[in-house]
Structure 1
Amino acid sequence: MRITQGCFSFLPDLTDAQITSQAQYCIEQGWALGIEYTDDPHPRNTYWEMWELPMFDLADAAGVVRELVACRQAHPEKYIRINAFDSTHGWETVRMSFIVNRPAREPELVLTRQEGPGRNQIYAMTVRPAS
């Protein structure tokens, strides 16, 4: 199963050159970049672990790529994403987020449904570890 979260998630994995191009685009927009990682890809898990500090005032994407390489070396079997934050309105808004690393075997998300009172349907999503 392939986890689909963020921009480009329905496309094949981005190459390093494509990641660099996207990071450069974000920098040209004036957005700060951050790298995060997790082993829990549940859609409601919005709080991934932050890799280093967010990167402000970058001139080119080389700094982002350097940190991405270090994060991949430290966490090769985790999900890693790049987030682009726009602070032009006085608060940080995520403008772009995309996965740049996946584990070799991805866990499976399972949707279960139960009958509730009054014919209500109760849904729950659980993560089944990769086998």
Structure 2
Amino acid sequence: MRINQGCFSFLPDLDDTQIAAQIGYCLRQHWAVAIEFTDDPHPRNTYWSMWGLPMFDLADAAGVMHELRACREANPEHYVRVNAFDSTKGWETVRMSFIVQRPTKEPGFRLIRQETSGRNLRYTLESYAVTAATEGARYAG
């Protein structure tokens, strides 16, 4: 199952040239770019680990691509995404976010239906990944 989150999520994965072009667009808009990674891509997990600090005042996508390569090397079986923040109005607003790396195997999620009192239904998403495993080891093997 392919995890679909952020911009371009229903398109084929972007190659590095296309990623650099999107980062270039973000920088031309004067947005700060940040790189994040996780091994828990649950849709409600909005707090991924940040790779370094957000990159403010960059003029060239090469700096972001350098950090992206370092993040990929350090986290080969993690999800990695690029976020672009607009701080021009005095607050941080995510203007663009897209996944740039996925683990080799994406087990996905299953929908669990629970019937409760009064014929009400509750739905929960549960990862097929071994969520009891320690962080960083969920997609190993």
Task: Compute the TM-score of the two structures, normalised by the length of structure 1.
Answer: 0.97
> Which residue of structure 1 aligns with residue 107 of structure 2?
107
Matches within 5 A, 1:70-81: 70-81=70-81
> Which residue of structure 2 aligns with residue 91 of structure 1?
91
Of stretches 107-116 and 7-16 in structure 1, the one that deviates more from structure 2 is: 107-116
2:10 is aligned with 1:10: yes
2:44 is aligned with 1:44: yes
> Which residue of structure 2 aligns with residue 33 of structure 1?
33
Q: How large is the Cα RMSD of the aligned pairs?
A: 1.0
Unmatched 5+ residue regions in structure 2?
A: 130-138
> Which residue of structure 2 aligns with residue 127 of structure 1?
127
Offset of residue 89 of structure 1:
1.2
Three-state SS of the structure 2 residue aligned to 1:58 is coil
Matches within 5 A, 1:52-63: 52-63=52-63
CA distance in 2, matches of 1:90, 1:126: 37
Unmatched 5+ residue regions in structure 1?
A: none
Three-state SS of the structure 2 residue aligned to 1:24 is helix
CA distance in 2, matches of 1:101, 1:21: 16
- 1:75-105 alpha-carbon deviations (Å, 9 max, x no partner): 0100000000001111100000000000000
What is the letter of the counterpart of residue 107 of structure 1? P
Three-state SS of the structure 2 residue aligned to 1:98 is strand
CA distance in 1, matches of 2:125, 2:90: 35
- 1:17-52 alpha-carbon deviations (Å, 9 max, x no partner): 000000000000010000000000100000000001
Offset of residue 107 of structure 1:
2.4
Offset of residue 115 of structure 1:
1.0
